[in-house]
Amino acid sequence: MSCRKSKTVEDKPITAQRPHPTTERPLDAPLLTFDLPALLTHIKGEDVWRTGSRNAMTLLKGQRLRVVLVAMHAGTVIPSHRADGPISLQVIEGALTCSADAQTVMLRQGQLLTLHAGMPHAVEAREESVFLLTLATETEHPAAS
């Protein structure tokens, strides 16, 4: 492990605190499409990105599925935590180190990681990075109702 200083993200939700007027962009519909480069430009233009260690935008918040676009500055760490359901993490830009179940893997652009429900995992941005986080649940998300 390198000796560089990491920015640790305490137990904060992965999504940014921004108003989401549903008339502007629906969070659930039978069919949704996303322009990821445009959305990245948007979240990297927000104050949260300029002043914080990361920013994120929920793209889909369905009954049993959530998709979140996450951007992290180099050195940012999301400490070990668990997800209630299975997850996938697909790197769009940059490089991430993901640790889970006594294994550590480096993920680069175009690579995908999957984890079973309840598996402790941590993520570190080795450089400025962007990933799509997909979270599945067996029960309906309360905010999706």
CB atoms within 10 A of CB 79: 14
At CA 95, angle to CA 87 and CA 102, rounded to 5? 55
Q: Model-level pTM?
A: 0.82
What is residue 4's predicted lDDT score, i.e. its pLDDT? 39
Evaluate whether residue 104 is within a structural domain.
yes
pLDDT of residue 13: 46
145 located within any domain: no
Close Cβ partners of 85 (under 8 Å, ≥ 6 residues apart) = 64, 117, 135, 136, 137, 138
Domain of 107?
55-140
CA 54 – CA 87 distance, rounded (Å):
19
What total number of domains does the chain contain? 1
Mean pLDDT by 10 residues, the chain (145 residues): 43 46 73 95 96 96 95 97 96 98 95 97 98 88 55
Domain assignment present for residue 123? The answer is yes
CATH number, domain of 73, equals 2.60.120.10
In a domain, 86, yes or no: yes
Radius of gyration, alpha carbons of the chain: 15
31 inside domain: no
Q: Please report whether residue 77 resides in a domain.
A: yes
pLDDT score at 101: 86
Q: Is residue 117 part of a domain?
A: yes
> Would 62 be classed as within a structural domain?
yes
How far is residue 81's CA from residue 64's CA, in Å, rounded to a whole number? 20
Q: Give the single-character DSSP code of 144.
A: G
